Structure 1
Amino acid sequence: MIIDTHLHLIDQSALSYPWLAGVPALNRDFLYTEYAQQALRVGISGALHMEVDVDPADIDAEISYVEKLSKTPGNLLRGAIASCRPEDASFADFLERQRQNRFVKGFRRVLHVEPDELSESALFRENIKRMQGTGLTFDLCVLPRQIPQAIALADNAPGVQFILDHCGVPDIKGKADHPWREHMVEIAKRPNVTAKVSGVVAYADAESWTVETLRPYVEHTIGSFGWDRVVWGSDWPVCTLGGGLTHWVAATHAILSGSSEGERTALLSGNATRIWKL
């Protein structure tokens, strides 16, 4: 059984995604039916929808869109990680509103395309700290050089469960281990941070990567955090940039072939079930 903790759905007839204009390979609809056909074939039994950086005016609409989908018979969707704007004074009201919706399991503010100063502001950090005690998680999508900013957020809000996306976004294609490798060891010292082993095929050379290309990055992530603080995600459809969902699932199983059944279960479903109470 696999719980996919990082699924993006794109429906341009329903929501606005300004950033897609700059990424032609992803600038089309990626709907639930297309994902589900592939997911069921590779053993995915549940999924969390990850916000897709919609236009800020569509944040609430995206939550409603995914929640409505989840109510169709046999649907794989178990919850949503919603977009948010902790840099805004309105975040406190937004947080209180979303706390009433059990379908919302956490939040994310994409940081890797924003100035570092965004997450360093007093208001941003104060608002993230407001999440303490809510049971809601906060996903960290940062570049390796920004991991120190992620560490600062985790230290400032020890009562918030943070999820570090995509193994910390290593530059696999460029074979750039540093400072990613050292930063991963450092952030893993924070007990309130869990790492997401998700979609790293998108950071490798799409034409030439093999299991052994990905293995050092996945194994270093697991080795740094331990089996009880890692979860799995597809990052579909971004993973299509590196071969797609079935290739990523197959590579994951190959990398995990030497681990115990308990370790594999923890990464692929157990930890996610516990963290998000699925």
Structure 2
Amino acid sequence: MIVDSHQHLWTADYGWLADPALARIRRDYGVEDLRRNLRAARVDRTVLVEAGRGEAAETTEFLATAADTEEIAGVVGWASLTDPALAETLAGHRAGPGGHLLVGIRDQVQGHPDDDYLDRPELRAGLRTIADAGLVNELVVRVGQLPAVARAAADLPDARFVLDHLGKPRITAGAAGLDQWRSLVAPVAARPNVVAKLSGLVTEADPTGWTVDDLRPFVAGAVELFGPDRLMFGSDWPVCELAATYTQVRDALEQILGGTPDAIFATTAISTYKLEIE
């Protein structure tokens, strides 16, 4: 069993895709595209993650899609962490089609310029609401926001946090990027309630000329700091197509790890998201 903890679906009209640099992935990506890539990469189940539309309707649609798609074992939906009606929003999603497949919530924290954004009281309240609902707090942040992630995880020790893309290290900066990332991610890894994704690395590297060796020290550092039981494989498809195919992403990680460790490629995702997989 191979579980991909991080993939997306979207349509070409998503606003953020208007960036000329994203022309390569500015098209509709649907379930049949996903299935074709899963077969090629020998992946069995996935977690579908919100794709930056920033609307509750996207979560509603994704849950309904997951309910009709055996390969999708869970959905990380979008919700604003500052929504005063967040608890009611979550309850509404759970009451709809596929609501039982809602496993986490992600807001676009990386889009806020403040490195300390997660320290704001209203943000902490949102994180607490998600945790109280039994859902994962999924965090997509810039590397400079990692200290705030560590503080949030320490403040909410009973909450489950997932760090996307290892906190987006500056892989193109080489040794300097590695040193910066290690110093900032170590306090995050020290929190036992944080799980990290080995995802999104090919696009943090040079998308036109990355190599496995570019990724290797970051993956090795993650294994050292988090351990396999708190790491998950994620393709970040179709974003990854800016730099690599789905299969190339899986193969690169398998090459670095010397195989497909069960924790990283399945059981950590299953336990973190409480996926019901037969």
TM-score (norm 1): 0.90
- 8 A contact 1:49–1:79 mirrored in 2: yes
- 8 A contact 1:199–1:248 mirrored in 2: no
Alignment gaps of 5+ in structure 2: none
- 8 A contact 1:203–1:242 mirrored in 2: no
Greater mean deviation of Cα atoms: 105-114 or 124-133 = 124-133
Distance 1:204 1:55 in 2: 26
1:172 Cα shift? Answer: 1.1
Distance 2:118 2:173 in 1: 27
Alignment gaps of 5+ in structure 1: none
Q: 2:58 corresponds to which residue?
A: 62
Please tell me the root mean square deviation across aligned C-alpha atoms, in Å.
Answer: 1.8
Deviations 1:180-235 (A, max 9, x none): 11111111010110011112111111232221111111110111001111111110
Distance 1:71 1:139 in 2: 21
1:130 Cα shift? Answer: 2.1
SS in 2 for 1:170: coil
SS in 2 for 1:132: helix
Distance 1:227 1:10 in 2: 30
Which of the residues 107, 110, 113 maps onto 2:108?
110
Distance 1:2 1:140 in 2: 23
1:252 Cα shift? Answer: 1.0
Distance 2:159 2:86 in 1: 16
Distance 2:33 2:126 in 1: 36
- 8 A contact 1:201–1:242 mirrored in 2: yes
1:36 Cα shift? Answer: 1.3
- Output the amino acid matched with 1:135: G
How many positions carry a matched residue from both structures? 267
- 8 A contact 2:171–2:204 mirrored in 1: yes
- 8 A contact 2:178–2:217 mirrored in 1: no
Deviations 1:111-144 (A, max 9, x none): 1121325423211111211233432101111111
Where in structure 2 are the equivalents of 1:19-168 lying within 5 Å? Answer: 19-22=16-19, 23-56=22-55, 59=56, 61-72=57-68, 75-100=70-95, 101-116=99-114, 118-168=117-167
- Output the amino acid matched with 2:273: W
Distance 2:83 2:58 in 1: 19
- Relative to structure 1, is the Cα distance of residues 70 and 200 closer, same or farther in structure 2, using a 3 angstrom cutoff? same
Q: 1:185 corresponds to which residue?
A: 186
Aligned-residue identity in percent: 30
Where in structure 2 are the equivalents of 1:251-262 lying within 5 Å? Answer: 251-257=252-258
1:99 Cα shift? Answer: 4.8
- 8 A contact 2:86–2:129 mirrored in 1: no
- 8 A contact 1:87–1:121 mirrored in 2: no
Where in structure 2 are the equivalents of 1:191-202 lying within 5 Å? Answer: 191-202=192-203
SS in 1 for 2:214: helix
Distance 1:214 1:119 in 2: 28
TM-score (norm 2): 0.90
- Output the amino acid matched with 1:68: A
SS in 2 for 1:177: helix
Distance 2:253 2:139 in 1: 22
- 8 A contact 2:171–2:215 mirrored in 1: yes
